[in-house]
Chain A
Amino acid sequence: MLSETQIWQALEVVKDPEIPTLSMVDMGIITKVEVRGESDVFVEMTPTFSGCPAIKMMEGMVAERLKEIGIKKVEVVTTFDKPWNSNKLTERGLMCLKKHGLAPPVKHEG
């Protein structure tokens, strides 16, 4: 059975559709990974903004990637439980943004 860490690692190759140098993990939009059983994984995501037109597409990309590494049952759910803000970008995410030519946001107090 794959560990949650291994699932997170597998998801690192799934890129943000708008900024292809940045993974969805580093963007901070994947908020939870749960291994529910042998070949059964649950992933929770949150959109950067509620009008994001790529939500369904991103859910599909995550599911496809996990199937690629052999997970049979994948459930991907999008929620606003932990709303996204730019503080959720990882350190590596901030560096990727800079490399892509975008000014990385500074940490803010909300």
Chain B
Amino acid sequence: MNHIKELLYKMADDLLIIGHRNSEWTGLGPILEEDIAFSSMAQDKIGQSQAIFQLLHELGEQEPDTVAFTRNANQFHNAVFTELPNGDYAFSTMRHFLYDVADQLRFEMLANSSYEPLAKVSRKVKGELKYHVFHANTWITKLGAATEESHARMQTALNECWNYALGMFEESEYEKQLISEKIFDGEAELQKRWLGAISPILTKATLTIPNESTWQAQMGGRKCIHTEHLQPLLDEMSEVFKIDPTAEW
């Protein structure tokens, strides 16, 4: 069961952490419509993480709230990419694009998982992520090819995000077992599909993927090794919960 738990933890943690980061934009978006859209997607992600934490609970892990709010950074399996500070809007939008395309493909693959409880949740979530990716694609193509400044800022964001984004596909020690049991087709396959999906959008946006010779995936997150940015995020996120973890709300 450890292989399934590991898979679920990294997915739930990715969603919770990027959901929290994206929620930091609430009230700061460039226009109201975008502010609401970005916040609403952040809420979706936290809700999706809850659904995955619930699957973990059914496998014997603690209650979703306990798991979400009482662990320290060195117990989180999210990709480092998701915990990085928001930066400017270009960085956040680029991360949203690179992460959400990967996540949509991941849930599409998992909709056919032999692990039926996960397959059921994935069939629901992939439909929701369709809209997130539609949103991301729209902004990437619009900003990438708009003005000289917007293009330059989006290209900088892509360069900054790139190696961290590759870190999303850090393999698990259970990779072979997940593949042979037809639970998940694996990170290498996901990365291949992801490159196939983002490339045409980036081309349309006149943005260039960094030269392959410079690629250096920033891994560690899946093994609970994080940057200094994660713990402050967790402290803030769990501040209210920790005042009284037994409170009945």
Contacts and interface: CB of A to CB of B under 8 A. Distances in A.
Q: Is the interface of A mostly helix, strand, loop or mixed?
A: loop
Interface of B: 43-48, 50-51, 120-121, 123-125, 127-128
Contacts of B123: 80, 83
A85 interface: yes
17 contacts: A49-B44, A50-B44, A50-B48, A50-B50, A50-B128, A51-B43, A51-B45, A51-B46, A51-B128, A53-B43, A53-B47, A80-B121, A83-B123, A83-B124, A83-B127, A84-B124, A85-B127
A52 interface: yes
Interface residues of A, number: 11
Contacts, number: 36
Given A50-B44, A50-B125, 4 more contacts: A50-B124, A51-B45, A51-B47, A83-B123
Contacts of B48: 50-51
Contacts of A53: 43, 47
> Closest 3 CB pairs between A and B?
A51-B47, A83-B124, A51-B44
Interface of A: 49-53, 79-81, 83-85
A51 B46 CA distance: 7
A82 to B, nearest CB: 9
B121 A52 contact: no
Contact of B47 (A50, A84, A85): A50
B47 A80 contact: no
B132 to A, nearest CB: 11
A81 B121 CA distance: 8
A49 B128 CA distance: 7
Contacts of B47: 49-53
A101 B48 CA distance: 30
A52 B128 CA distance: 12
A85 B123 CA distance: 11
A50 B123 CA distance: 11
Contacts of A85: 127
Contacts of B51: 50, 80
Contacts of A79: 120
B45 to A, nearest CB: 7
Given A50-B128, A85-B127, A80 B120 contact: yes
